[in-house]
Structure 1
């Protein structure tokens, strides 16, 4: 059994898939295994491509094929189920890592106590264009550099975690359930909100994860869900399901962990949302603003209320659905 399981979702994106695979090959930490989930793409072409581009890791890479697209979170669930590892991380086929990511994150999680559910490094946003199979980097910038800690308050406002920056204990899925495949987007945020209610998430200061975003229109298959699916993000957030549904797929009969507050962060600890983010997201930030103070939500959470009910109770019925929140589906 490998120590770290890497869940990689793909569908007919060879230009970026090669970069993601090479990013794994370049890691200084070698105790890993990849579950590559082909969500409705050309299976024969993918098998041939992986054999050609990554022959040195083929024995540590298992491919699961979906005959038809099932969605990004059904694909994530399939990847999780294909792995038997102590730690898990999602690396989408269009993202990449510093060669030190796995070594640094795994060492930090090894050293952490059982109350730490996972570790999250800082992220660099890389804006790029793709044309004629070539990837051109246009600019890069630190993502959310003002962030000082990850807690219930700021996670309820924004999705602060980029999936490939978060290494977490696989036992969290036994305790809290798998990714919710009924959500077309925001499944990562839904899962993180479940985690942060019961466990701390430790922020690592090094920027070791790279979040690649396409700037210009190119092949539809290369669009990011955030930049290419703004309407879908808006509609999904407006459903309020990302903060209100119970954990799906939790093990029957297991008692839920006692709710507790991890490091509480004030709104000032999270960055100012960009104009695109303010346009693209709904509900949670508006609810918190209506409450007047995130401390009121913290007090409600300490009574054991689910997050969505705690927000509603703190807002005393004065809720807004016109504000925006942020997120990071790749």
Structure 2
């Protein structure tokens, strides 16, 4: 029978952390261990009250925190849950039953009292097709065999954003067998700010790091896509109007015809804005 360690990286969100851990405790297939990895020191009291393993780190990326938590696993499988997300009660049961080296589920996005469909990972994927755009793997919606995760050397700790996409690309390159459970078993919460997908210089520099890592494999269209994402990130609130206008223009110039059509229909506004 499989067993699973759940790693929960947290960043100064003790109330959200309690909700995330509660969703792990409600699983119909219980986790063998829960490891909370804290990069601010704000969660020690919460972790002690919840009775989970607590690890204090000085990480600067979510990938590095997840890797640190994964070191403590002696189970056959690993799962990761961001502190502001939560699982449906059958998440672990359904994904462990699915098999494969890596199994992933679909997600919901929730902001305030509004919920909408989130990531919808396709069953068939090629690394070359998703180098530029995450097709639906997040830091909270997959279970992976521990041996496979360690063979990949975990997440890239240098990547500020897209570390989940990078892990997926490397898994596909390695020929790992991935399985998709076409059920929305994860809720990703957003307050509209303070998220890695929020617009700002932090996200923009992270996108540049990711682009540089895969520069030699990206097609022209994929490079343009990432350039547009970076310019959108740089058009954040609080800037001078002239700079916002310049980045908006650069974003439009790097958009594909399909993106331009979708923008005209107001279909591609970032959920985390």
Q: TM-score range by the shorter chain?
A: 0.7 to 0.9
Residue 76 of structure 2 corresponds to residue 105 of structure 1: no
For residue 175 of structure 1, what is the aligned residue in structure 2? 151
- The structure 2 residue matched to 1:194, chosen from 163, 167, 170, is 170
For residue 51 of structure 1, what is the aligned residue in structure 2? 48
- Take 1:167 and 1:13, find their aligned partners in 2: how far apart are those partners? 23
For residue 236 of structure 1, what is the aligned residue in structure 2? 206
Paired residue secondary structure (2:48): helix
Cα contact 1:3–1:31 (8 A) shared by 2? yes
- The structure 1 residue matched to 2:131, chosen from 156, 171, 192, is 156
For residue 293 of structure 1, what is the aligned residue in structure 2? none
- Would the alpha carbon gap of residues 118 and 99 (structure 1) be closer, same or farther in structure 2, given more than 3 Å must change? same
Cα contact 2:2–2:96 (8 A) shared by 1? no
For residue 28 of structure 1, what is the aligned residue in structure 2? 28
Deviation of the 1:241 alpha carbon: 4.0
For residue 240 of structure 2, what is the aligned residue in structure 1? none
- Take 1:278 and 1:201, find their aligned partners in 2: how far apart are those partners? 32
- The structure 2 residue matched to 1:279, chosen from 217, 232, 244, is 232
For residue 299 of structure 1, what is the aligned residue in structure 2? none
Question: What pairs up with 1:1-150 in 2 under 5 angstroms?
Answer: 3-42=3-42, 46-52=43-49, 54=50, 58=51, 61-66=52-57, 68-109=58-99, 116-128=100-112, 138-145=113-120, 147=122, 149-150=124-125
User: Could you list the runs of 4 or more consecutive aligned residues of structure 1 that deviate by over 6 angstroms after TM superposition?
Assistant: 275-278, 324-329
Paired residue secondary structure (1:156): coil
For residue 302 of structure 1, what is the aligned residue in structure 2? none
- Take 1:182 and 1:328, find their aligned partners in 2: how far apart are those partners? 25
Cα contact 1:105–1:119 (8 A) shared by 2? yes
Two-structure CA RMSD over aligned residues (Å): 3.5
Residue 195 of structure 2 corresponds to residue 224 of structure 1: yes
Deviation of the 1:277 alpha carbon: 9.0
Q: Deviations over 1:270-322 (max 9, x none)?
A: xxxxx9898349xxxxxxxxxxxxxxxxxxxxxxxxxxxxxxxxxxxxxxx94
- Take 2:94 and 2:164, find their aligned partners in 1: how far apart are those partners? 22
Deviation of the 1:15 alpha carbon: 1.5
Structure 2's unaligned 5+ residue stretches are 217-227, 235-252, 260-267
Paired residue secondary structure (1:173): helix
Paired residue secondary structure (1:120): strand
- Take 1:195 and 1:69, find their aligned partners in 2: how far apart are those partners? 23
Cα contact 1:122–1:208 (8 A) shared by 2? yes
- Would the alpha carbon gap of residues 242 and 88 (structure 1) be closer, same or farther in structure 2, given more than 3 Å must change? farther
Count of equivalent residues: 232
Paired residue secondary structure (2:140): helix
TM-score, reference length from structure 2: 0.73
Paired residue secondary structure (1:41): coil
